[in-house]
Amino acid sequence: MTVDEMRRELQRRLKKSRFAHSIGVANTAVALAKKFGADETKAYIAGLLHDCAREFENDELPAQAKLRGIEIGDVERAMPLLLHAYIGAQMITEIYGVDDAEISQAIYRHTVGAANMSTLDKIIYFADMIEPNRNYPGVENLRALVDEKSLDEIFLTALSESIIFVVQKNSLVHPATVAARNFLLLNKRE
Ligand SMILES: [Fe+2]
Ligand SMILES: [Fe+2]
């Protein structure tokens, strides 16, 4: 599929606001790839397709995960929405013909993160938080970091904000998010 065909297919499958969000993440990811040195085409495709599994309703996600041999952990069982990242990482090949391990990994990791994330992984995670349609208290502060900080400094702030957010909601903290943040702190370059 060409990128144009991917866009059309995605538009057909997602509701309007989710598609607009996807375009926002794709464009933001390209800008971040330019700034921090990642493949711009991969950034666009990963951003575009990162939420492709959101075509399923939340209550369909566990069955869709099982269908693909995805293991469902305790946190995912309690919050099935998280499964869209792992399902999406496979659907890009099934539906959109994208056979690229880096893009797939970035989509897999876009919601809860992981230890040792690649530049593309970090870009997609952060683009998802700051794309232009996002509107929540503090988003402007996160956007402003792009011109001031390194990608790792930005990503550390993003992870900390995510953890604070879920803790304040009394929600579960996914261990992968803690692993992502600890990895950054333990491997900080001076
Ligand atoms: Fe997502
Ligand atoms: Fe998203």
DSSP letter for 131, please.
S
Cα 128 to ligand 2 centroid, rounded to whole Å: 5
Q: Which residues of the chain have pLDDT under 50?
A: none
Cα 190 to ligand 1 centroid, rounded to whole Å: 32
Closest ligand to the CA of 84: 1
Which residues make Cβ contacts (< 8 Å) with residue 21, sequence separation at least 6? 51, 131, 133, 134
Task: Output the CA angle 48-52-54, nearest 5 degrees.
Answer: 130
Residues 123-170 pLDDT 10s:
999 999 999 999 999 999 999 999 999 999 999 999 999 999 999 999
pLDDT, residue 188, reads 83
Closest ligand to the CA of 47: 2
> What ranges in 69-118 are assigned the alpha helix state H?
74-78, 83-94, 101-108
CA distance 43 to 25: 9
Contact at 8 Å (CB) between 131 and 24? yes
pLDDT, residue 51, reads 98
Residue 56: CB atoms within 10 A of its CB come to 19
For 110, phi then psi, to 5°, come to: -70, -15
pTM of the model: 0.96
CB burial readout 79-100, b (16+ within 10 A) else e: bbebbbbbbbbbbbeebbebee
Q: What is the separation, in whole angstroms, between the first and last Cα of the chain? A: 43
Contact at 8 Å (CB) between 106 and 50? yes
118 three-state secondary structure: coil
Cα 1 to ligand 1 centroid, rounded to whole Å: 22
Closest ligand to the CA of 61: 1
60, 62, 68, 71 alpha-carbon torsion, rounded to 10°:
170
Label residue 37 left, alpha or beta by phi (over 0 means left) and psi (-120 to 50 means alpha).
Answer: left
Cα 21 to ligand 2 centroid, rounded to whole Å: 7
